[in-house]
């Protein structure tokens, strides 16, 4: 069991809250959804590479890899798929729904481990999975009865969790041979390369209409990608997995509160219950995972 690190725990909470603002910033941008995902990667990549080059000597001294490998390419592919689908989901459904459903990731990881590695799970984990699934049904149920467009967005948000699960599994395998800086630099760059043609082909503007339009895109790169994903990647290496799962609770909570304050997106009583059950179920699944 890893010892508790207050610094890493603080970084985990800050990173989770930072990612919670991603949906808000995407909504504030005036480019198409996939373009906002591309600019998030493209604007963050130079800063991440500067960090990676600055730590090159320490990486070499620690015997860590710096070259491009197949597993790094796979990390970029999975993350690009996650971002593309999730940003599309935000175009059709609420920030709270898209963020909550994308946090079904631990369940897909469990399914993969069960069928591929024959991993056995505790009763607590299975109970948590059932609670999370029940919460998801309650969360998307009102959408099904009122708006087919929002239901499609909810489905996309749920599907994005599949890609994010693949990304997390690949990143976990990369950590032993790559530093956080080098890993995030490569992964972010590969994701940007994959997202570029998709952003150019999608209807809607690729470039902001004016200088002010770059502000939310820069914020996506600095807050969500560097202040969120990168900071959490650092924290995961220094905390027990059960404690790291707190980030899954902070992210959708931040998104829901921010969307309520900025866009006035309100959540009905049953959706609130569903969201709470979903978060509790994911927390129980992670806490009781083997």
Domain containing 194 equals: 6-99+160-267
Q: Where do we find the tokens 């010892």?
A: 3
**Contact between 81 and 163 (Cβ < 8 Å):** yes
d(CA 105, CA 190): 22
pLDDT at 147: 61
Whether 225 is in a domain gets the answer: yes
Whether 26 is in a domain gets the answer: yes
Tell me the per-residue pLDDT of 107-152, one tens digit each, with 9 for 90 and over: 777 777 777 767 777 787 778 778 877 877 776 655 554 566 777 8
Whether 178 is in a domain gets the answer: yes
Task: Give me the mean pLDDT over the 244-269 stretch.
Answer: 68
Whether 130 is in a domain gets the answer: no
pTM listed for this prediction: 0.82
Neighbouring CB atoms inside 10 A of 269's CB total 8
pLDDT at 185: 96
pLDDT at 64: 92
pLDDT at 139: 64
Whether 36 is in a domain gets the answer: yes
Whether 275 is in a domain gets the answer: no
Task: Give me the mean pLDDT over the 50-59 stretch.
Answer: 94
Q: How confident is the model at residue 265 (pLDDT cuts 50, 70, 90)?
A: low
**Contact between 131 and 284 (Cβ < 8 Å):** yes
Tell me the per-residue pLDDT of 181-218, one tens digit each, with 9 for 90 and over: 999 999 999 999 999 999 999 999 999 999 999 999 99
Burial of 211 from C-beta contacts in 10 A (0-12 / 13-18 / 19+): exposed
Whether 10 is in a domain gets the answer: yes
Task: Compute φ and ψ for 210, nearest 5 degrees.
Answer: -150, 180
List, in order, residues 6 or more apart from 154 with CB less than 8 Å away. Answer: 89, 93, 97, 98, 101, 139, 140, 143
Whether 245 is in a domain gets the answer: yes
Task: Compute φ and ψ for 182, nearest 5 degrees.
Answer: -70, -40
Number of domain units in the chain: 1
Task: Give me the mean pLDDT over the 223-231 stretch.
Answer: 90
Find, among 108, 95, 202, 203, the residue nearest to 150 by Cα.
Answer: 95
């Amino acid at each position: 069991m890893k010892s508790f690190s207050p610094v890493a725990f603080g970084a985990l909470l800050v990173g989770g809250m930072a990612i919670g603002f991603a949906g808000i910033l995407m909504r504030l941008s005036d480019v198409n959804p996939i373009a906002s995902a591309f600019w998030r990667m493209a604007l963050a990549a130079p800063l991440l590479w500067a960090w990676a080059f600055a730590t090159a000597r320490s990486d070499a001294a620690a015997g860590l890899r710096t070259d491009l490998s197949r597993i790094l390419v796979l990390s970029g592919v999975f993350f690009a798929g996650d971002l593309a689908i999730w940003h599309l989901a935000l175009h059709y459904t609420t920030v709270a729904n898209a963020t909550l459903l994308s946090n079904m990731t631990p369940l897909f990881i469990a399914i993969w481990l069960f069928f591929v590695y024959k991993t056995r799970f505790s009763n607590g984990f299975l109970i948590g999975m059932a609670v999370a699934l029940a919460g998801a049904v309650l969360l998307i149920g009102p959408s099904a009865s009122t708006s087919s467009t929002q239901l499609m967005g909810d489905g996309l948000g749920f599907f994005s969790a599949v890609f994010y699960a693949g990304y997390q599994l690949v990143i976990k395998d990369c950590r032993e041979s790559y530093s956080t800086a080098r890993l995030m630099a490569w992964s972010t760059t590969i994701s940007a390369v994959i997202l570029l043609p998709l952003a150019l082909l999608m209807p809607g503007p690729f470039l902001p209409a004016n200088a002010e339009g770059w502000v939310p895109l820069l914020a996506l790169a600095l807050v969500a990608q560097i202040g969120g994903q990168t900071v959490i990647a650092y924290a995961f290496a220094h905390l027990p997995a059960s404690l790291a799962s707190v980030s899954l609770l902070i992210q959708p909570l931040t998104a829901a509160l921010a969307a309520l304050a900025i866009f006035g997106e309100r959540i009905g009583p049953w959706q609130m219950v569903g969201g709470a059950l979903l978060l509790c179920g994911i927390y129980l699944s992670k806490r009781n995972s083997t």
